[in-house]
Structure formats: C-alpha cells, structure tokens
Structure 1
Amino acid sequence: MTQALTRTLDAARRKLLETGTRNRLIHVNRDNQRANCLNIIHERSDEIWRLLRLQGKRMRFRAMGSDTATPDGVLLLAAPGAEAVTDSQLETPLGPEALARRLLRLSHDARTAEEEQGLNVLYLAMGFLRWREAPGSQVLREAPLILLPVQLVRNERSSTFDLCAREDDLAANLPLQERLRQDFGIHLPEIDETETWTPGDYLTRVEEAVSGQRDWQVDRDGMQLGFFSFAKLLMHRDLDPANWPEGAFDGNPLLDGLLARGFAGDAPLFGDRDRLDDRLDPAQIIQVIDADASQTKVIEEVRAGASLVVQGPPGTGKSQTITNIIAAAAHDGKTVLFVAEKMAALSVVHDRLTRAGLRDICLELHSRSANKKALAQELGRTLMAGAHALPPAADPARLRQTRDRLNAITALLHDPLPPSGEPPFAAISSIIGLMGQGARPPAIPLAGLKALDAAARAEAQGAIARFVAARARTGPPEAHPFRGAGALDLQPT
C-alpha cells in the first residue's frame, strides 16, 4: 500500500474514533435525572437477562418515586440501594407522571432514529465500569459494559410501554474497549453469546481484567435504558488493514482512486448528438422501470464500468435510475452493495425492485432485518424461490418494430419538408406559441403559403412590420384628411 494511501486511510480512521468522555459509551452521568434515558433500580442483571433475552418476555415499568416536589423544587426519587426483587416489572426511580413522559419520549426518539438512519440505537445497558482517567483523578467515570438491544412496545390495555428484547446481536462496548486498550493496555473480554452465557460471568471476567487498577469497580447490577451508538467505531475497525487479508488494499484501483490519486476522466460512452436508438439494441437494454434518455445514458455508463457522480434535485428520477442500475447489474452477473445515509432512500429503491418482481435478488441488511434470524430466513426463502424455473426471455423483435415505428413518427415531425425546408414540428410550435399569446388566426388566403421558405416569411414579416409602423404614424385611415381622394367616380347626388 502506498504511503499516500496509508496516510489518508489513517486520517479517516482517526476521525471515526470517538473515545472521548463526551461519548456516552465512555462516560454516562447516571445521576443526571433530566437526560434522555431511564435508570433501572432494584434489579439483577442475570435475572433481567433471563426474562428478556432467554424467555423473550415483555416487562413493564414501575414508578418507585414521587411526582411531588419538595419545597426547594427537587422531585423525590427512589433510592437505588434497596434489595433486588424478582418479578416481571422494571423498577425506576421516577414518579408515575415523569415515568410516562420519559417512556413516551424514548419511544418517539427510538422510532425516529430507526426510520431515518435504519438502525436501532436503543439499548439496555447492563453492568457499569467505574473508572478514573488517572490514579489521582477525583472524577469518577462510568461506562456501560453490556448492551442489550431492546424496543419499547405499546401496551394497549394499560396505554403504557413495555420493554422487550430485539433479536439483534448482543453488543459489547467497543469504544470503551479501544479507550482502555490505548490508555491502559487493558483488553476487555469479547462477548461470545452462547446458551450458557450470562452477564454475571462476563462481568466477572471484566473485574479480572481491571483488577490491577486502583479504585476501579464494576457495578454488576447497574442498568440504564438509553441511546448508544458505536457505528463509527465499527467502520473504524472495518478500515483496519490488519482485519483484511494480506495485500487486499494493494493495487485496488477503487480504493486508490477514492483515497489517494483520484479518478481519471473516462471517455463518455455517448456524444451530445448521438441517438441512443442508433447505438443501443433493445435486447441490450435492461430496465425494469421507465427511463428517459438521460437516465439510460447513466445506466449504460455504469454497466460499461465508468466511475461517475449523478446529481439532481428531488423528483428527477435518481431512485428510478438506481433501481435500473441494480437490475442491470444483477442481469450481468454482478453483486451490488447499495448504501444510503437515510433509511428512506433504501426503502424506496427496495420497494421499486419488489414491485418489479425482483425481491429475490434483494437482501436487506438494515433496520429490523439486520439480525441473524431474519437473515437466515430470507436466505432460505430465496433459495427455495431459486428452485423454480425462470420464465423464458421475451423476443425483442416486437420491441424493435415498435421502436422503429415511433422513430418513423418522430422523423415525420422533425424532418424538413420541401419547398419551405421547415419541419412540421416547428410549424406546430409556432402555432401553439401564437395561441398561447391569444393571437387570432389571420384572415388571409392560404394559397401559396406552403411555398414560403424562411427567407420569404422573414421578408413578409418585415413588410408587415413597416406597414404597422407607418399606420401608427398616420393614424386610422377613417380619420385621414385625404381619405376618399382617390375616389374618382363620385356623383353629385
């Protein structure tokens, strides 16, 4: 790998690394009762794990505090130090009204994040590491250790929210692992979820890993429901050359073009005046939804291997073009990874491909489909669908005939006609323009008009313009003093 590529890749990885204390995965202020999160008290991690993850139960929330404020305006919150109990309710330090408002806000924000970004960021943090940045530091940091993906589900009977575990993979605190490795040389254990795995066993291993640090502790039963995101750190790890086969980055033209040298200008496949029907046979065009000439050019440029950027305002057909590009690539035996910042963009293209009958070539790897169970089910369904014979390809001869017929009509409209040398399309456009201006049809003989060419029409228009100008100077003929001077046959009577 070249030095320029190495430097650019390292700089990009540094920007993705967020291991500062502003990151909630590095430090969580659990004493802040106004934060958009919810502390869970009087519960045991292993028991909550068993109910939510292993048994798949829905758990309700119980308000242990009071909504009544003290004289100094401080709400009465339940203390977290009571003995843990075993039931199907998660106890919280808030009062009933405050708990209802907090759950409503958490549910709304979680749904918004999933709709816009396509990923779940709502987790139940289980077990917290209490650590200090330096031996003499007076600031105690707290970081979550186990992140259980969860979702808030509306309880129709009680009009409240229940908590249930999602089928997504269990996550460890990746930013914390990176921070401790860089600053202290501590390697936190990885989470290897099996049938016998429990949070308690993992937290015991964490305690062993940090046992050499003074004043560091593990709060084994500390829990908090909140938003945690480590997508950037996952990208940071993906860009590490050590995680790839040796030499995978060397000589990669796409990576070298993106990060180092840029891309050379590709010769355009089509000229400005090229007719697509003269260059492309209908049997070669692979489009599952309608595309105009500009979109067809983009599709064929991509199929030819060109690197390009397509831009345009909303409503100009970018999603339609992407849909056709994916369909054409699948037809050509290629694999496509389609990524977007917003989930809506992914959904639009996926829906278009599904309506076009191409659901079996699509594998969703975002949102609720990004878990092992859903992935396995989708692969199984696709493999079963592949057992059926495909319908025969349509004969493009009829399409060629229709294309040639439409092109013949276009030629009749745009080819010049003798003796004037003007195409009918130009005449139609002129008439439509005059109608749009409210002009009345001329009351003149039509004989001989078809023989007028552009020069003769220009001369006639000039004569008419001079006549109009002269009349504007002399005024209406009825009011002219010499009106009737040429009438030589007047009688006395």
Structure 2
Amino acid sequence: MTSSDTGRYVTSVLEAARRNLLETGTRNRLIHVNLANQRANCLNVINERSDDVYAQLLGGTRRMRFKAMGKDRDAEDQDALFDFPDEGQLIGAERQIDQYLETPLGPNALQRRLLRLATDARTAEEEQGINILYLALGFLVWREDSSSQINREAPLILLPVELIRNERTSTYDIRCRDDDLSTNLPLQERLKQDFGLILPDIGEAEEWTPAHYFAQVSEVIAAKPGWSIDPDGMQLGFFSFAKLLMHRDLDPETWPEGGVAENELVRGLLSEGFAHEPSIFGPEDRLDTLLDPAEIIQVIDADASQTKVIEEVRRGSSLVVQGPPGTGKSQTITNLIAAAAHDGKTVLFVAEKMAALSVVYDRLVKTGLRDICLELHSRSANKKALAQELGRTLMASTRTLPTVSDTARLRRTRDDLNRISDLLHLPIAPGTETPFQAMSEITRFIGRNVSPPSIPLDGLELHGSDARADTRAAIGRFVAALAAVGEPA
C-alpha cells in the first residue's frame, strides 16, 4: 500500500468513526423528545416564551425559579402524583415576563422532580466531568417519511444549565452556565442524510435570539408537509454532548496542514502498525549503571518498574501500561507529566472517569506544579474559568529560584548502598553461601524457643553448602541409629 493509499484509507476509517459518534436514531433524545410523556428525569416548562427565558437566563439575572401550576394528588395514588392543569387553562394562561418558570406539576411533585434532576446531574458531573443538564428551547416537529403520521419532536436550542439549592426558600433555582450553545448535530446529520436538509448552525452574534433561529429553520423545512416549529416548547432534561465534541475533533477542517491522516501515530494505529522497538533496558540491566541521577525527573517516589516506564516514554517509545488498582499507575502518570514538562513538551491527559483526572491533578498540585496544569473539563472548561486560570498563571512570578544540586551526594549515597547490597549477595568464599543467605538461615530459629547457632566469623568459610549437606546427612544417620537402639538409660 502506497503512502497516498494509506492516507485515503485512514481518512475513510476516521470519517466512518466520526459518523458513528452521532446517534441519529429516535432513541436519542436529541432526535426525539416525547413532550407528552412526563418522565421522572425531565421537567416540562409551560406558559413561557423562549425569547423571554433566553434573555432572562443569559442577559438578566441569569437565574430563575420554578412555579408549580398543578395540584398534588393523594399520596395513596401511586399511578399519578400530580394533576395537569386543563388544556384550555394552559393555552389561555397569560405568559408573564418574570423570574418564574411555570411547570405542570404540583408543589410536592415539583420538589421531588427537581431534587432527582439535581442529584443525577451532580453525579454525572462528578463521575464523567461533563454537564448533561440542559433547558431545551423550541422543538422541531417532524416526520420520518411522507407516509408517516407520527410526529417526532427534536430540541432546537439547548441551554447548559445547573440547579442551585436556594437555602432561603428550600427550593431549587435554575442558572445558566458559562458554556457555549451547541447546534443539535445529531439532528443536523439526520436531516442531511434522510432529507437533504441543512439545519443552520447556532449563531454567536450579540443580537441573536431564539426567534431568529426558529425563522431560519422554518425556511429550511417550508416544503415539508406536516413539519412545523414549536417555538415555545420547553423541557429541562438530560442531553449528552460528549460524543459530539469528539465528532468535532475528528473534523478534517479542524486539523493543521497535513491533516490527521498524515499523523504518524494515527497511521500506525489504523493501518501500518508499529515496528518492534527493543526496550532500552535489558532483562539483567541495573538501572543505576544506565541512569544518571541528574537526568532522572521524578517528583514523587517511583520504583524500578515505574522508572523504566518513565524513561522509555521520555525516549519516544509508545507503550501500554497495565495493572490492577493500587499498582502505582497514577504515580507513574504524575511523574510522566512532570518529566515531559521538564523536557519542554506538552501533555494532554485524558481519562474516562473524572476521578482519575482529579487524582493526578491533586498530586501535581501537592508537588508545587499547579502552574503547569490547565484543567479542561467540567466547570473549568468554560471560557470565563479558562481565561481566569490563564491570567493567574501569566501573573505568577517569573523569578527563578536558586537551586542547589545534590546529585553528587545522591550519586555517592546510591553507590554506597549498592556496594552494601553487592557485599550481602557475594559468597563468603568460593562455593559458600552469601551473608544474606546465612542470615536467612539464622532467622529460621526465631519463634522456636531455640537459640540460633553462634558461628564465628572465621568459621563461616567452613560451613558452605557441601559442608552443611554432610552435617545434615550425619545428623540424619544419628537420629536413625538412636531410634533403632533407643536412648541410653
């Protein structure tokens, strides 16, 4: 396969993976939300205008409260815990411009629903490091084909929000987060694939309003019978955009010149494979003879196996490190990041669980390396927090503190310890045991209520393995003879 063939193959594989990241089936809540189904993990908002809510949350107090418009039913009725207002009441209700979002639930049911939403959202953010709670504004009512009479409802604008406990009223308020608005990419891809329609992207102009966007979408779907826009339909619920970020990362237009298909690691993973790279350490090599203490960059303790991994990576090797919990992987990653920073490199540390990110970050902070870290997940990923962190780092002192090199003393201490270890494992005399083995034999008498044998130092040479074997054989013969004749009277 030529280089150009490999490039085309890698590009096609990445494009297929990119398409698979977008779930365009109706089971995806970004494709279809059943507004009539009051599920426990969502909350409908009624009697409000999308433009007013958008302006209030983004340009006003950025915080609103919830109002229960329904009535709680008897607690003994397990099938339904609240009453919906009459349809006529909903349609004819005056839409107020205030700080309240009206809901069809009763007071008790509303608080239970908000508590569950807040708890689930917090758990998802703590475990995954991403926000999945959004307030959907406006819905596209569409049908899967011209013969279908089933309406599908897809959210058009999703505001990233969070539920804040109001200690004064013991209720929950809704507040808009500093994250950017995102176009509904799964819906955009579904409309493009099935109908050849191009859903417009969410705008970033200061004068942008939901009404402007709904007007753009209306022009796109004008020729589709049975399709419409519900501009003031709203629902608070969970929508995951994690895969959408990966979808954008794989867009060829976001890569520098040469593209992802020319990246050596990507080509190796998807097509060419990797040539075998022998380890820089042999199975019998001693690290102390190969590594200079002055060149070892470790901010926390590392054993021999961890040191090998760190030095292999520093020399450009690509590898996979496996091990059960508690075997020091996070310590190794911490040292790897510190060593890479020392070598003038940039590291992107990615983990599926937020806990893994937090452990490594906390270790780096404790070692005084906070200023080399930039968190790009959870609440730290929004523009305001990012700008503040960059500003804090830029304003940090650039004064270089004097350093005292103790590598010479460290090298002498290391050599002294190695010399002691070598002597412990050096046979006392040719064919005899080592001091370590002799001490191991003596420790066998511990706990047996027997005094260990006292052997003079100049007699150790006479008690090699052969002499001990002869002694054991003689004792064995003595014990056998004693058993045969009996003990003397």
**Residues of 1 paired with 2:259 and 2:358: CA distance?**
32
Matched position secondary structure for 1:259 = helix
Query: Is contact 1:419–1:452 with CA below 8 Å preserved after alignment?
Result: no
The alpha carbon displacement at 1:273 in A equals 1.2
1:102-159 C-alpha deviation (Å, 9 max, x unpaired): 1111111101111111100101111111111112211100011111111111111222
Which piece of structure 1 moves more, 398-407 or 28-37?
398-407
SS in 2 for 1:59: strand
Residues 190 and 7 of structure 1, relative CA distance in 2, 3 Å threshold: closer
| 2:276 pairs with 1:271 | no
Q: CA RMSD in A?
A: 2.3
CA contact (8 A) 1:67 1:76 kept: yes
Contact 2:143–2:227 (CA under 8 A) maintained in structure 1: yes
Within-5 A mapping of 1:134-213: 134-213=145-224
Contact 2:128 2:352 in 1 (8 A): yes
AA aligned to 2:484 is T
Please say which of residues 452-461 and 51-60 is displaced more in the overlay.
Answer: 51-60
Instruction: Give the CA deviation at 1:71.
Output: 8.5
What amino acid is aligned across from residue 63 of structure 1 in structure 2? A
Distance in structure 1 (CA, Å) of the matches to 2:442 and 2:114: 66
Q: Does 1:383 align with 2:394?
A: yes
Which shows bigger deviation, 364-373 or 212-221?
Answer: 212-221
Matches within 5 A, 1:277-316: 277-316=288-327
SS at match of 2:71: coil
Question: What's the CA shift for 1:47?
Answer: 1.4
- For 1:18, the equivalent position in structure 2 comes to 23
Aligned partners of 2:136 and 2:234 also within 8 Å = yes
**What's the offset of the Cα at 1:5?**
2.3
Which residue in the other structure is 2:43 paired with?
38
Distance 1:475 1:137 in 2: 106
In the superposition, relative to structure 1, how do residues 390 and 183 fare at CA in structure 2: closer, same or farther (>3 Å)?
farther
CA apart distance, 1:442: 4.8
Query: Among 244, 254, 271, which residue is 1:233 paired with?
Result: 244
2:70 aligned residue (65, 73, 80): 65
Asked if structure 2 preserves the Cα contact closer than 8 Å seen for 1:61 and 1:91, the reply is yes
Q: Does 1:411 align with 2:422?
A: yes
1:249 Cα deviation from its structure 2 partner: 3.0
Partners of 2:246 and 2:287 in 1: how far apart? Answer: 41
Q: Does 1:106 align with 2:111?
A: no
Match of residue 344, structure 1, among 345, 349, 355: 355
> What corresponds to 2:344 in structure 1?
333
Q: Which residue of structure 2 aligns with residue 9 of structure 1?
A: 14
TM-score under structure 2 length normalisation = 0.91
Q: Which residue of 2 aligns with 1:489?
A: none
> Which stretch has the larger CA shift, 141-150 or 235-244?
235-244
Relative to structure 1, the CA distance from residue 88 to residue 454 in structure 2 (aligned partners, 3 Å threshold; closer, same or farther) is: same
C-alpha spacing 1:417/1:445, structure 2 compared with 1 (3 Å): closer
Structure 2 partner of 1:440 = 450
Change (3 A) 1:449 1:400: closer
Partner of 1:76: 83
Cross-structure match for 1:54:
59
TM-score calculated relative to the size of structure 1: 0.91
TM-superposed CA distance for 1:291, in Å, is: 0.4
Q: Secondary structure at the match of 2:260?
A: coil
Cα drift, residue 420 of structure 1: 6.4
Contact 2:136 2:156 in 1 (8 A): yes
2:244 aligned counterpart, secondary structure: helix
Structure 1: distance between partners of 2:155 and 2:418: 67
Question: Equivalent residue of 1:123, what SS?
Answer: strand
Q: Is the 8 A contact 1:420 1:450 kept in 2?
A: no
- Counterpart of 2:34 in structure 1 is 29
* Alpha carbons 1:420, 1:452 under 8 Å: kept: no
In structure 2, do the counterparts of structure 1 residues 183 and 391 end up closer, same or farther at CA, with 3 Å as the change threshold?
Answer: farther
Identity of aligned residues (%): 64
Q: Secondary structure at the match of 2:63?
A: coil
Kindly indicate whether the alpha-carbon contact (under 8 Å) linking 1:129 and 1:145 is maintained by their aligned counterparts in 2.
yes
Aligned mates of 2:256, 2:368 — CA distance in 1:
37
**Corresponding residue for residue 487 of structure 1:** none
Once the two structures are TM-superposed, the CA of residue 245 in structure 1 deviates from its matched residue by: 4.2
For the 8 Å contact 2:428–2:460, the answer to whether it is kept is no
Does structure 2 conserve the Cα–Cα contact (< 8 Å) formed by 1:288 and 1:356?
yes
Q: Say which is worse superposed, 440-449 or 337-346, in terms of deviation.
A: 440-449
1:303-343, Cα deviation, whole Å (9 max, x unpaired): 01111110111111100000000111111111111100000
Query: What whole-Å deviation, never above 9, does each CA across 1:415-455 have from its counterpart, x for those lacking one?
Result: 2223663222222233334426x462356776845521111
Task: Please tell me whether the aligned partners of residues 61 and 90 of structure 1 are also in contact (alpha carbons under 8 angstroms).
Answer: yes
- SS state at 2:405 partner: coil
The answer to whether the Cα contact below 8 Å between 1:180 and 1:187 also exists between their aligned partners in 2 is: yes
1:138-184 Cα shifts (integer Å, max 9, x gaps)? 11000111111111111112222111111111222111111112212
Q: Aligned partners of 1:434 and 1:15: how far apart in 2?
A: 67
2: distance between equivalents of 1:117 and 1:42?
Answer: 34
**Which whole-Å deviations, capped at 9, do the CAs of 1:242-275 have from their partners, x for residues lacking one?**
4434532344220011111222221111011111
Unpaired segments ≥5 residues, structure 1: 478-482, 485-493
What is the aligned length? 477
**Corresponding position of 1:371:** 382
* Kept in 1: contact 2:428–2:461 (CA 8 A): no
* Inter-CA distance 71–239: structure 2 relative to 1 (3 Å threshold): closer
Superposition map of 1:236-247 within 5 A: 236-245=247-256, 247=258
Q: Distance in 2 between matches of 1:116 and 1:349?
A: 15
Counterpart CA distance in 2 for 1:33 and 1:140 is 17
* Aligned 8 A contact 1:130 1:219 in 2: yes
Instruction: Check the 8 A contact 1:420/1:451 in 2, yes or no.
Output: no
Q: Which has the larger radius of gyration?
A: 1
* 2: CA distance, partners of 1:442 / 1:326: 51
Question: Is the CA contact 1:127–1:145 (under 8 Å) kept in the aligned structure 2?
Answer: yes
1:137 and 1:441 map into 2 onto residues whose CA distance is 94
Change (3 A) 1:212 1:246: farther
SS at match of 2:147: coil
Matches of 2:397 and 2:351 in 1, distance apart? 28
Give the counterpart letter for 1:160 in structure 2: T
